[in-house]
A and B are shown apart, each in its own frame.
Chain A
Amino acid sequence: MTTKDRLLKERTRRRFLFTGLHLLLYFSFSLNWTSWGSFLAERLGATYLSGAIVMFVVLVVLFIVLESVFLWLSQREERS
């Protein structure tokens, strides 16, 4: 296997890893409609925020972080 092939495999693996992780996080939101995710319906302390809203915000932030890490890795690879 040439270096080029190995690099190609590595990039493809990374793409699928990030996609898989992202989809896993995305579909984890469906916990809100299952009995396993009943804890998400509870309020956060004395606030009006529910666990589901917090999860929504955390997921959006995580998506942005995932994208940033992916871009950073790609740019680092292009530079080297």
Chain B
Amino acid sequence: MMLALLHRVVVALLPFVALPAFGAGAIDGEVARQPLNPTAIVMFLLFVVATLFITWRASKATTTSSTFYNAGGQITGAQNGMAIAGDFMSAASFLGITGLMFIGGFDGLILSLGAFGAWPVLMFLFAKRVRNLGSFTFIDVISQRLDRNPIRLVTAFSTIVIVVMYLIAQMVGAGKLIQLLFGLPYELALVIVSGLVLGYVAFGGMLATT
């Protein structure tokens, strides 16, 4: 009962996760419209078409929870490593870390070390257990040992808080990119990018996002 309620609350809140990006004042300055760059626009559109094609192909293969959450275990370590590296070299990292270093100097560098610090610990302690238990997340693993409802509440709450922080920088970066490339209003650019990302994840699952 409580889990069902929690699930509904989380699902209901998800669409609002990206909303703070609309009000984000991270880049308030006037964006000067660049001269039309057909090469950049064509490359961007090609990238979008290619990723949508991958998503379409992946959605055909995504039929079970296992294929949605971990691509049925068919992604190799090297492929997954490259995908994680791609995640790490995101707009959020570029904006967040360079911004922090701009404000705080060398102190900002500690943030970029954080990701390198966290992933190996997860691998040493949890990776094999996740695989052996047939679970998809670290929360599933610790729920096996601890009281499920409180641990899921705490982790769902902390996940949403962290994702909101992360997504604001990510969406601001992506929105500004579209605004610069196409001269579209920032809000419309945000909606387009959010729609594309939602489409990739919802239809293609782990296979498409990887």
Q: Name A's B-contacting residues (CB within 8 A).
A: 15, 18-19, 22-23, 26, 29, 32-33, 50, 52, 56, 59-60, 63, 66-67, 70-71, 74
User: Dominant SS at the A interface?
Assistant: helix
Q: Is the CB of B116 within 8 A of A60?
A: yes
Please report the C-alpha to C-alpha distance between residue A19 and residue B118 in the assembled complex, in whole angstroms: 10
Closest residue on chain B to residue A18 by CB atoms: B124
A72 to chain B, nearest CB (A): 12
Least CB separation from B106: chain A residue: A52
Which residues from 107 to 140 on chain B have a C-beta closer than 8 Å to any C-beta of chain A?
Answer: 107, 109-110, 113, 116-117, 120-121, 123-125, 128
When C-beta atoms are compared, the residue in chain A nearest to B129 turns out to be A15
Q: Which residues of B contact A23 (CB under 8 A)?
A: 117, 121
Total A-B Cβ pairs within 8 A: 39
A26-B113 in contact given A19-B125, A70-B123, A74-B128 (Cβ < 8 Å) = yes
- Within 82-125 of B, Cβ neighbours of A (below 8 Å) are at 106-107, 109-110, 113, 116-117, 120-121, 123-125
* A20: min CB distance to chain B, Å: 10
Report Cα–Cα, A15/B107, bound state, in Å: 30
Q: A32-B106, A52-B106 are in contact. Are A15 and B113 (CB under 8 A)?
A: no
Point out the residues of chain B lying under 8 angstroms from A26, CB to CB.
113, 117
Name the contact of A63 in the complex, choosing from B109, B110, B117 (C-beta under 8 A). B117
Cβ of A19: which chain B residues have Cβ within 8 Å of it?
A: 121, 124-125
CB of A65 to closest CB in B, whole Å: 10
Report the minimum CB–CB distance from B111 to chain A (whole Å). Answer: 11
Check if B116 sits within 8 Å of A63, measured CB to CB.
Answer: yes
A74 vs B129: C-alpha distance in the bound complex, in angstroms? 13
CB-defined contacts of A15 to chain B, threshold 8 Å: 124-125
The interface residues of chain A lying within 8 Å CB-to-CB of B77 are 71
Cα separation A50 to B106 with both chains bound (whole Å): 10
Closest-by-CB residue of A relative to B109 is A56
Q: Would you mind naming 29 contact pairs between A and B with Cβ atoms under 8 Å apart?
A: A15-B124, A18-B124, A19-B121, A19-B124, A22-B120, A22-B124, A23-B117, A23-B121, A26-B113, A26-B117, A29-B110, A29-B113, A32-B106, A33-B107, A50-B106, A52-B106, A56-B109, A59-B113, A60-B113, A60-B116, A63-B116, A63-B117, A66-B120, A67-B120, A67-B123, A70-B120, A70-B124, A71-B77, A74-B128
